[in-house]
Structure 1
Amino acid sequence: MNEQNAGGVRQRSVEIVVPVYNEAHVLADSIGRLHAYLEASFPFPFRITVADNASTDATWQTAIGLTHRLPHVHAVHLDAKGRGRALKHVWSQSTADVVAYMDVDLSTGLEGFLPLVAPLLSGHSDVAIGSRLHRQSAVERGPKREFISRSYNLLLKAGLAARFSDAQCGFKAVRTDVFRALAPHIEDNAWFFDTELLVLAQRNRLRIHEVPVDWVDDPDSRVDIVRTAVDDLKGMGRMLRATLTGRTGIAAVPRRGSAPQVPATRKTAEVTPVQAADASTSSRSDHLEYAS
């Protein structure tokens, strides 16, 4: 993934994670569309990693099949649910300069991806988020989801002095070296992971870049709105206490202009598609499986 240009200079690269849970019915189409779009128009080396969060349907087998057919697609299986858990695992071990994620439904227009990651690749910013609440965004969703989203972000502004506009949009990116410094301080492994990442970034004076997006609501969304709202309120209370006690300051956060520190290889061994296919039919006693 870390390729060199004609002059022998290593090109900056991006790893895009797509967390999934029981998405076998849409996975092949969505990853196929994403892969085709990036191959045709994205000017940097990239990897797409499907992160299977303990699916009980054919998601893992479908993901393995995609690694056979599409050269830039990899897959990882975790035995526990949680979007934040999947992102923390893959992002922490990535060899790319920038790590990103998007939802499998591709609700966010893909033309927004390069504007999302470009400021991170150039060193201008540290974290980037798609914002459905930006005045230039074009959003199609029901009034209930719109009300909940706006109310949540207003609570973040009032309770945590958030200066970012949309904490929960499933379209984010971060410099890999910055994420490694923040990751040990992120406690949530589910939906509040995004908010916690952004609050820590803001508290440590990192630059958060916002991109207006075109976004179409997914009617098949699996999010439990009530449970997620309760967990988010608990998370906000925890972050407020951490802020008041000074526990959100992180001394080791890299600053813009510093050379990104990425490992030469993943800590988790990668396996061939054939090995991964064999592993998928086993009892899955290991914590995770990886297909590349």
Structure 2
Amino acid sequence: MVLRVNPNYSIVIPAYNEKARIGHTLERVLECVHARGWNAEVLVVNDGSSDNTASIIESFAAKDPFVRLINNPKNCGKGYSVRNGMLQATGEIVMFTDADLSSPIEEAEQLFAAIRAGADIAIGSRWLEVKRQTLRQPLYRRFFGRCFNAVTRMVMALPFADTQCGFKAFTRQASQTVFQLQRIERWGFDPEILFIAIKRGYSIREVPVTWGHDERSRISYLRDGLKMLEELVFVRWNALTGVYSKPVKELDPAAAGSKLAANAQTKGAR
């Protein structure tokens, strides 16, 4: 197996019970990586899936040195999964994308270009150019989504058209700083990491991306939306009480051990 020493890019994909599409997703991602000649690693974070998601990822990792499986100790949430993957990533530019690839992985080049041009963070946006949406959400989802985004901008003072698009890229330095401070471990982590990034003085560029709604989306705007609003208040409270002045202490010990082992392997390969 060829080790990916100092990759230019890391692509993190959180996955929970994704047996129906993770294989196709990895095929598309790897096809893009190879076709474009990216020196990249693909980290898939299995969030305690009860199906055979992990074994499918393992089969890809056995055939392609670009792929690495990371297992959460149990089902911990999307925010936890993204943080786990981002902190273990070793690329110069580190991004995360949803397992459904609602934004085609080819669009990542726009995020990479924004960072190469000087941004610390580049975030995909569904709303800067609505015409780029290939399959629009049902009207009720668009309504609740835009309402949540408006509330987010007001409560968090975030100047972005779209905070929730699961298509974001960071310099490695920005990623390590921001994700060590992240506390939200479920759906509401996106506004939190942007809030932290702004408070830390990182430059953020919002980039319009192609996006298509996936009807299999698991988000319930009533149940999850209310929880996410609660988490916005939690973020403001954390900021007022100085929580974001120090990293999370309870990061997954297994992940930390895996990272140390990976670093040791990389050093041994040099």
Would the TM-score normalized by the shorter structure come out above 0.5? Answer: yes
Report the counterpart of residue 108 of structure 1 in structure 2.
103
Provide, for residues 66-88 of structure 1, a one-character-per-residue CA deviation record: whole Å limited to 9, x for no partner.
Answer: 11223311111112221111121
Q: Distance in 2 between matches of 1:80 and 1:174?
A: 26
Letter in 1 for 2:196: L
Report the counterpart of residue 71 of structure 2 in structure 1.
77
Provide, for residues 39-92 of structure 1, a one-character-per-residue CA deviation record: whole Å limited to 9, x for no partner.
Answer: 102x54111111100000010111100112233111111122211111211211
Report the counterpart of residue 62 of structure 1 in structure 2.
56
Any stretches of 5+ residues in structure 2 without a counterpart?
A: 248-256, 263-270
1:158 aligns with 2:154: yes
In the superposition, relative to structure 1, how do residues 62 and 251 fare at CA in structure 2: closer, same or farther (>3 Å)?
closer
Q: Distance in 1 between matches of 2:18 and 2:224?
A: 20
User: 1:162, CA displacement in angstroms?
Assistant: 0.9
Provide, for residues 137-176 of structure 1, a one-character-per-residue CA deviation record: whole Å limited to 9, x for no partner.
Answer: 5222211221122111111122221112211111111122
Report the counterpart of residue 33 of structure 1 in structure 2.
28
Q: Distance in 1 between matches of 2:243 and 2:171?
A: 19
In the superposition, relative to structure 1, how do residues 123 and 269 fare at CA in structure 2: closer, same or farther (>3 Å)?
farther
Alignment of 1:245-260 (within 5 A): 245=240, 247=242
Question: Does structure 1 retain, via aligned residues, the 8 Å contact 2:47–2:81?
Answer: yes
1:146 aligns with 2:147: no
User: 1:16, CA displacement in angstroms?
Assistant: 0.4
Structure having the higher Rg: 1
Q: Distance in 1 between matches of 2:165 and 2:143?
A: 14
Identity %: 26
- CA RMSD, aligned part only? 2.2
Q: Distance in 1 between matches of 2:229 and 2:242?
A: 19
Letter in 2 for 1:231: K
Q: Distance in 2 between matches of 1:161 and 1:101?
A: 23
Question: Does structure 1 retain, via aligned residues, the 8 Å contact 2:14–2:99?
Answer: yes
1:21 aligns with 2:13: no
Number of matched residues?
247
Q: Distance in 1 between matches of 2:179 and 2:97?
A: 19
Report the counterpart of residue 281 of structure 1 in structure 2.
none
Question: Does structure 1 retain, via aligned residues, the 8 Å contact 2:86–2:179?
Answer: no
Alignment of 1:208-247 (within 5 A): 208-243=204-239, 245=240, 247=242
1:269 aligns with 2:266: no
Q: Distance in 2 between matches of 1:172 and 1:22?
A: 22
TM-score with structure 1 length normalisation?
0.78
User: 1:116, CA displacement in angstroms?
Assistant: 0.7
Letter in 1 for 2:204: I
Question: Does structure 2 retain, via aligned residues, the 8 Å contact 1:132–1:214?
Answer: yes
Question: Does structure 2 retain, via aligned residues, the 8 Å contact 1:2–1:96?
Answer: no
Any stretches of 5+ residues in structure 1 without a counterpart?
A: 4-11, 253-264, 271-292
Q: Distance in 1 between matches of 2:244 and 2:195?
A: 11
Letter in 1 for 2:150: L
Secondary structure in 2 matching 1:225 = coil
Match of 2:89 among 94, 105, 109: 94
Letter in 2 for 1:214: T
1:52 aligns with 2:52: no
Question: Does structure 1 retain, via aligned residues, the 8 Å contact 2:156–2:191?
Answer: no
Higher helix fraction (1 or 2): 2
Provide, for residues 95-139 of structure 1, a one-character-per-residue CA deviation record: whole Å limited to 9, x for no partner.
Answer: 21221111111111233111112232x261111111001136522
Question: Does structure 2 retain, via aligned residues, the 8 Å contact 1:99–1:175?
Answer: yes
Q: Distance in 2 between matches of 1:155 and 1:161?
A: 9
Report the counterpart of residue 112 of structure 2 in structure 1.
117
Question: Does structure 1 retain, via aligned residues, the 8 Å contact 2:174–2:202?
Answer: no
TM-score with structure 2 length normalisation?
0.84
